[in-house]
Amino acid sequence: MPFQTASQNLVSHASAWFNTRTSDDKGASLVEYALLLALIAIVCILAVTALGNSTSKAINDGAVGIGG
């Protein structure tokens, strides 16, 4: 194909990379599972922190509004 758009080029490279990574692997190793678990834990901690701060502020604003 002599002319490819940037998105077609990106998709073809991503597809080739994914195929080389998955073609000879027998399964995820313990290290890959540990990295995935660590990433999920970080996302959960950040979400709870962000939501906790905004929820606490809303509760405090409500308490001040009713005179508490």
Angstrom distance (rounded) from CA 21 to CA 25: 7
* Predicted pLDDT of residue 67: 79
Asked whether residue 65 is domain-assigned, the answer is yes
What local confidence, expressed as pLDDT, does residue 59 receive? 81
pLDDT (0 to 100) of residue 42: 95
Q: Is residue 41 part of a domain?
A: yes
Q: Is residue 67 part of a domain?
A: yes
Question: What is the tally of structural domains in the chain?
Answer: 1
The answer as to whether 32 is a domain residue is: yes
Is 63 inside a domain boundary? yes
Residue 53 lies in a domain: yes
Residues 9-55 pLDDT 10s: 777 777 777 777 666 556 678 888 999 999 999 998 998 888 887 78
pTM recorded for the entire structure: 0.43
Structural domain including 48 reads: 25-68
Within-domain flag for 44: yes
